Amino acid sequence: MSNRRIKLEICAASPEDCAAAEQGGADRLEVNCALMLGGLTPSLGCLRESRAAVRIPIIVMIRPRAGGFCYSATEFAVMQRGAEIALAEGANGIAFGILTPAGTIDLERCRRIVKLAAGRQVVFHRAFDVVPEPLVALEQLIDLGVTRVMTSGQEASAYNRAANIACYIRRTAGRIEVLPAGGINRFTVADVVNRTGCDQVHASLRTASMDRSVAACPQFPFGGTLKPPEDEFTVTDSGAVASLRRAIG
């Protein structure tokens, strides 16, 4: 790994996560809720308390539902309102992704979100990883004025498709930031950085935490198809963040 400092972004789902990530050495946060669903727009309360908890930059996820990235007119209106609220509450930027039914970039709607951000950071999230022509999509995002694109190289993990990410970085030549994400931890990060030539990475470093309030009736599932354990949830692991920070310098 080179001697340059690699910027570390951590995915967080609560003010406690944000504080743990900052303590571990994170440079930037992406704040979501429902991480098991890939991350959705956090509540206003979460956003306000997260902003109050840390000094480092916060990027807020703007995603109204799980299950794809092609939205109805009502869902798009919700996204616009969510972006307005997040930026008004002190977010340094927003992360979003909007596709057409064919899986291509929805240029008109993305243009409206970028304009709404009014110069603050705009991140196109991993919806990018399902577009049929990624190099075309990159040029479109550059033309739209998007700050950064998050990608695993169109694979489950950045480690598996580091060659694709390296191609994106070379192709864009600094015209847009490329943020490797997916499966990045202290065991994989050095390889991803070395093979891609990236200057930043995104990681979700979670550990289990317990809530015993449901112990008397563990047979009741409150979730849907996923059915996670009712007495367990995940939180950001500050120690894992610190380990990753040491690994990338």
Nearest alpha carbon to residue 163 among 195, 139, 199: 195
Confirm whether 212 is domain-assigned. no
Please give the model's pTM, rounded to 2 decimal places. 0.91
What is the distance between the alpha carbons of residues 199 and 216, in angstroms, rounded to a whole number?
49
User: What are the φ and ψ backbone dihedral angles of 162, each rounded to 5 degrees?
Assistant: -60, -30
What CATH number is given to the structural domain containing 79?
3.20.20.380
Within a domain: 218: no
Residue with tokens 């972004």: 9
Q: Give the pLDDT confidence score for residue 210 in this predicted structure.
A: 87
Confidence band, pLDDT 50/70/90 cuts, at residue 103: very high
User: At residue 19, does pLDDT exceed 60?
Assistant: yes
Q: Cβ(210)–Cβ(194) under 8 Å?
A: no
Q: Rounded mean pLDDT of 129-154? A: 98
Span 128-137, pLDDT tens digits: 999 999 999 9
How far, in Å, CA of 46 to CA of 48, rounded? Answer: 6
Q: What one-character DSSP code corresponds to residue 235? A: E
Q: Is residue 105 part of a domain?
A: yes
- Rg value, the chain, Cα: 18
Alpha carbons 28 and 5: distance in angstroms, whole number: 14
Task: Quick: pLDDT tens for 40-70.
Answer: 999 999 999 999 999 999 999 999 999 999 9
CB atoms within 10 A of CB 243: 17
Kindly state whether residue 146 falls inside one of the protein's structural domains. yes
Would residue 102 count as lying in a domain?
A: yes
Average pLDDT of the chain, as a whole number = 94
On whether residue 219 sits in a domain, the answer given is no
Q: What is the pLDDT of residues 193-212, one digit of tens each?
A: 999 999 999 999 998 888 88
- Indicate whether 137 belongs to any domain: yes
The domain in which residue 48 lies consists of 7-205+243-248
pLDDT at 106: 98
Total structural domains within the chain? 1
Residue 103, classified by CB atoms within 10 Å of its CB into exposed (0-12), middle (13-18) or buried (19+), is: middle
Ramachandran quadrant class, 143 (left: phi over 0; alpha: psi -120 to 50; beta: rest): alpha
Residue 230: which pLDDT band, with cuts at 50, 70 and 90? low
Residue 163 has pLDDT above 80, yes or no: yes
Residue 223 lies in a domain: no
Q: Over 70: is that where the pLDDT of 226 sits?
A: no
